[in-house]
Amino acid sequence: MLIVWLRESIFGKGHYQQTTVILTAVTFLLTLIANSVIHLFYWHARPFVTHRVHQLIAHSATESSFVSDHALLAFSVAIVLLQRMKRLGYAAFAFAILTGASRIFVGVHYPADIIGSVFIASAVGWLVVNQEARLRPITAFIISTSEKVIALTPAGKRISRDINK
């Protein structure tokens, strides 16, 4: 996402990709909030706690299995990118599927945990992208501030000088 942001800030004339990065971040933050709310009302033991599972990575047994934070992040990125930057979105979606499958494979999540992550990320991602117009003042402020900060750095000054030649 950093490469997408910087590529447009250096070479682009619009802010479509930067807005996409911001919408992705908003989606992920909202999915984490939704996950926190779910954990207030629902707790489910991890597979290695309730079943004989060869655990491949160390993980806390006291955290709820439902839903997967890793899958939430991966699918949040994928869902927003699928709506705004299709080709990159397909690659991100494939990566998200691999992320979910790996969480099951290492024994720290059930398939339902990953499916729940997909549903939450999809709902929130769709909502955020469809509310882009309402978020425009916030995205414009973030983009404007980042451009000012980048312009203050030595690299930003050099790029600005090269572009204006």
Residue 96 clears pLDDT 70, i.e. is over it: yes
User: Is-contact 25 2, C-beta < 8 A?
Assistant: no
- For position 75, what pLDDT does the model report? 96
Q: Tell me the whole-structure pTM to 2 decimals.
A: 0.79
- For position 24, what pLDDT does the model report? 93
What is the rounded CA–CA span in Å between residue 31 and residue 124?
7
Higher-confidence residue of 80 and 49: namely 80
Q: Give the closest residue to 109 by CA, choosing from 61, 153, 67, 160.
A: 67
User: Is-contact 46 61, C-beta < 8 A?
Assistant: yes
Report angle CA 36, 40, 43 to the nearest 5 degrees. 100
Give pLDDT tens digits for 22-73. 999 999 999 999 998 988 887 777 776 676 766 666 666 667 667 888 899 9
User: Is-contact 120 67, C-beta < 8 A?
Assistant: yes
